[in-house]
Structure 1
Amino acid sequence: MPSIPFLRDAIFALILLPLMALQHVAATDYMVGDDDGWTTGTNYLTWSEKYNFTVGDVLVFRYLAGQHDVYQVTEETYRSCNSSSGVLRRYASGADRVALEEATTYWFICNTSGHCLGGMKFGISVPNSSSQGGVDAPAQGGAAPRGVPVWLLGLTMWMWGLLNY
């Protein structure tokens, strides 16, 4: 018959390991431009390079509706800033959420006159989940992780403490 410490450790592992796995695969909301939001004068290339985007993450665009918009476009339209073709989706609410639903490269521009040419654009690559390795860096600035609540991990630790008593 297994010893009590072995059973205690096995129960702890059965509770904690799935919770840790859930935290790793949890999606993240990214506020485009962090505190600046989606506006002129922000370096979106620098912003986008701070994060490791994954399938399931969400880009949140905050801006003044009527002054800006968000176009998801092809790479060619991104590079030329000419939206006469190559527009995949249009957003104009001022509080747009764009889910990164597949592993691909996404391209975004503001279609307000002169804004794209002025730098209000960015592209991001979302790799296959199997190509990601290591541990993700902690969320910064405009990233809000969604996953296992801290209280649930605390409860798990408390239960483990009871088993040790």
Structure 2
Amino acid sequence: MATMENTMFLVFVFVALITKEALAAQHAVGGSQGWDESTDFDTWAKGQTFKVGDQLVFKYASGLHSVVEVASESAYKNCDLGSALNSMNGGSNVVKLNKAGTRYFACGTLGHCNQGMKVKIKTVTGNAPSSPAPSSTSDAPGPSQSSASFVMAVAVLLATFMLYVF
């Protein structure tokens, strides 16, 4: 049978993992316009804070656009899609930002990257809150304070239950 100390440790680990995931943000790339040639991705990205654990959500017309991640800033600037790290074309793709650094994305449709359909994402670590654009909530709802509060309430109830059981 597990000791109370072991049980409490597991509960605290569980709470920490759930809380971290609940506080991650989803960023609808391009805001309400989405992944489209008419979007000013530089301006959109400058209005965001991307943190480790956040997600990018690319929404676009499948068959008309795609998402290609390239390996370097040079490839990004020159729209050299031959160095692709990943290529997606499903119309709705989610990319998790799993480490700090810069990542580069472009549309793989011929000519779209050269027309500006590309975005550079700088992911940071730290305590700064993630800041998805206000318009992104209509496309891909990110976590709200109420969802984080709900997760914390469930965790507290679980911890209290565990104290009484053991």
Query: What TM-score results when the alignment is normalised by the length of structure 2?
Result: 0.69
Query: Where do 1:46-85 residues align within 5 Å?
Result: 46-74=43-71, 75-83=73-81, 85=82
Which ranges in structure 1 are unaligned for 5 or more consecutive residues?
1-17, 157-165
Q: Relative to structure 1, is the Cα distance of residues 54 and 113 closer, same or farther in structure 2, using a 3 angstrom cutoff?
A: same
1:161 is matched with none
Q: Relative to structure 1, is the Cα distance of residues 150 and 24 closer, same or farther in structure 2, using a 3 angstrom cutoff?
A: closer
CA distance in 1, matches of 2:84, 2:70: 4
Deviation at 1:113, TM superposition (A): 1.0
The structure 2 residue matched to 1:45, chosen from 42, 45, 48, is 42
Which ranges in structure 2 are unaligned for 5 or more consecutive residues?
1-14, 155-166
The structure 2 residue matched to 1:115, chosen from 112, 117, 122, is 112
Query: What TM-score results when the alignment is normalised by the length of structure 1?
Result: 0.69
Count how many residue pairs are aligned between Structure 1 and Structure 2: 135
Q: Relative to structure 1, is the Cα distance of residues 111 and 150 closer, same or farther in structure 2, using a 3 angstrom cutoff?
A: closer
CA distance in 2, matches of 1:24, 1:99: 11
Higher helix share: 2
Q: Relative to structure 1, is the Cα distance of residues 136 and 81 closer, same or farther in structure 2, using a 3 angstrom cutoff?
A: closer
Deviation at 1:104, TM superposition (A): 1.3
Please give the per-residue CA displacement for 1:19-77, whole angstroms capped at 9, x wherever unaligned.
9xx37971111111111111111100001111100011111111111100000112221
Query: Where do 1:1-165 residues align within 5 Å?
Result: 22=19, 26-74=23-71, 75-83=73-81, 85-127=82-124, 129=125, 132-133=126-127, 140-143=134-137, 144-146=141-143, 149=147, 152=150
CA distance in 1, matches of 2:114, 2:94: 23
CA distance in 2, matches of 1:58, 1:119: 22
Aligned letter for 2:58?
A: F
Deviating beyond 4 angstroms after TM superposition, the runs of 4 or more aligned structure 1 residues are 133-139
Alignment partner of 2:50: what SS? coil
CA RMSD of aligned residues (A): 3.0
Please say which structure displays the higher CA radius of gyration. 1
